[in-house]
Amino acid sequence: MKVRVHGRRRHYRTVDFDARINEVVLIEQRKLPHQFELTRTRTVQQTARAITNMTVRGAGAIGATAAFGLAQAARAFTGKTEPAFARHLQRAYETLAAARPTAVDLVNALNEVRASMAGDHTVAQQQRLSLKAARQFADDDVAHCQAIGRHGVKLIKNGMRVLTHCNAGWLAFVDVGSATAPLYAAQAKGKSFHVFCDETRPRSQGAALTAWELAQQGVSHEVIADNAAGHLMQRGEIDLVIVGSDRTLGRTGEVTNKIGTYTKAVLAARHRIPFYVAIPLSTIDWNLKSGLEIPIEEREEAEVLNAWGADAHGRFRQVRVANPSSTARNPAFDVTPPELITGIITPQGIFGPNDLWKEQKRLGG
């Protein structure tokens, strides 16, 4: 995706790697939409922290960051023996895997990198293989999102009003995005449509990130309060809902996504509005048998009790919006059952949520 910085448009990837100095290069998402900035992580601990504190966020983006983080750790090893290298790599794997528990892309990415290193290889060979595999994961993420756009573009009709929730755009992936991929493909075909971006409290990814992306791309859009979606649906002002996912169960078709997604799915079903989920293959979990088994991340209560943004002078500030003595619950994700989902847009096509398991081979399971 291209970004206008200092009056010039330039292509950026959300996640990249500088092999010369062994650093992961990320877009600092916490400062968007007010300031566009690249940041670098120099150690695997810093890389894991960037995932946890949401410097980088979104299923594919944190997967790619974890993949590069494991390669970063492998390349940083200066010991001499294979057993010492194996222990070093395992510690790095565990550090990265614990960074955020809900999104399965992260663990799938780590497993892909580690699998590429298996076999009778020297430490130096494994170090080279780790970076090659991490780059492949990132490239696959881009290719998957492009394919999602090709399959999903047929859902976007001229004059449509589309609702999104949270950010499943290129900032949430390496490039292109999942839920936004059909929108960008439709724009490229000259279709006219309008997007409503749920603000997505408490981190406001829809208002801060999705809206910023769409503005950069010149897509017609408006930000709405999370609680406004039902009103617009009732008035016939929303024709389609497309969201992303951080973990979709291949066995059941249950979808885990940013908190509030389940609410939107219930509302869409009530008003008979098609509800689609867009995912790359790395988002599918083929192991868990029930959405109740999915680890739902509980983040710090300060995210709910406070708001963060830039004032009129461009200074970043945090302000308290809740009653001073109150506490808060902050589950970051919820689970949407398959009966509320019209279809799942994948790089291999659009499937019913209950069809994923029988298409397991085709979907890389």
Cα distance between residue 276 and residue 255, in whole Å: 11
Helix (H) or strand (E) holding 26: strand 23-27
Please calculate the CA angle 293-295-298 and round it to the nearest 5 degrees: 145
Q: Closest Cα to residue 246, out of 54, 92, 24, 71?
A: 54
SS3 253: coil
Alpha helices in the chain (DSSP H): 44-52, 59-76, 82-97, 104-116, 123-152, 181-188, 205, 211-217, 229-234, 261-270, 302-305
Identity at 188, one-letter amino acid code? A
Cα distance between residue 126 and residue 116, in whole Å: 8
Q: Closest Cα to residue 108, out of 246, 299, 14, 13?
A: 246
Cα distance between residue 199 and residue 308, in whole Å: 13
Per-residue buried b or exposed e for 219-228, using 16+ beta carbons within 10 Å of the residue's own CB: bebebbebee
N residues, the chain? 365
Is 246 an active-site residue? yes
Exposed/middle/buried for 9, CB within 10 Å: 0-12, 13-18, 19+?
exposed
Bridge partners of 4, per DSSP, are 9
Strand order in the sheet with 247-249: 284-285, 247-249, 255-258, 333-336
- Cα 195 to Cα 59, 173, 276: the distances in Å are 21, 20, 15
Catalytic residue among 246, 285, 311, 355: 246
Please report how the helices 82-97 and 123-152 are oriented relative to each other, as an axis angle in degrees rounded to 10.
30
Active site residues: 246
